[in-house]
Amino acid sequence: MSELLLASASPRRRELLAQLGVAFRIVPAEVTEHEAPDADPRHMVAHNAALKAEWVSARHPTATVLGADTTVFIDNVVLNKPRDPAEARAMLRQLSGRMHTVFTGLAVRRGEDGLKLDLGVASDVTFKPLDDVTIDRYLSLVHTLDKAGGYAIQEHAELIVAGFTGSLTNIIGLPLEETKQLLTRAGLTH
């Protein structure tokens, strides 16, 4: 059986993938992701996930490589990781009291046999109406600069999230059910 490599340095993806009980190693892809605010979010996350998986696969051709990319989409605009606290605050204001969609692209690559599997997942999240006091409190509790949309549903969601539909693990950054399906198709899980 080939070794599984996760082409991501994300601690959330590492924690989620560990829940599947399959051994893996982390090899972050050294790529520049496409992150245009006006991009089609489905195409953008699929492109970035494939870019990461292919970069690592080219260097480890016998391994099975999992790449993933997640973004937040509202008002026909992609919200990636905020550049600074002011941008995180602006993102939370934009999401306040509204529903948005979280898109994740998954890509599995294995160089030695040319395996290529791709899947996209979408979940909807509805935010509570947020005032400045709540936004300030949330930003004081959660490090948001490494999170698409400037928030983490797994950290103090009671302050900001009214509800969601779809995969919770997708919203966190790695949809486990779909990841397991791809790894099973790649021959790594049962």
Contact, 100 vs 74, CB < 8 A? yes
Tokens of 26: 């982390």
Could you give the CA distance from residue 2 to residue 22 in angstroms, rounded to a whole number? 12
Per-residue H/E/C for 80-94? CCCCCHHHHHHHHHH
Could you give the CA distance from residue 105 to residue 118 in angstroms, rounded to a whole number? 7
Element spanning 135, H or E: helix 132-141
Could you give the CA distance from residue 150 to residue 140 in angstroms, rounded to a whole number? 12
- The answer for residues whose C-beta is within 8 angstroms of residue 158's C-beta and 6 or more apart is none
Q: Among the options 69, 131, 132, 146, which is catalytic? A: 69
Active site residue 146: no
Count the helices and strands in the chain (H runs, E runs): 7, 7
CA dihedral (169, 172, 175, 179) positive or negative: negative
Residues recognised as catalytic: 69
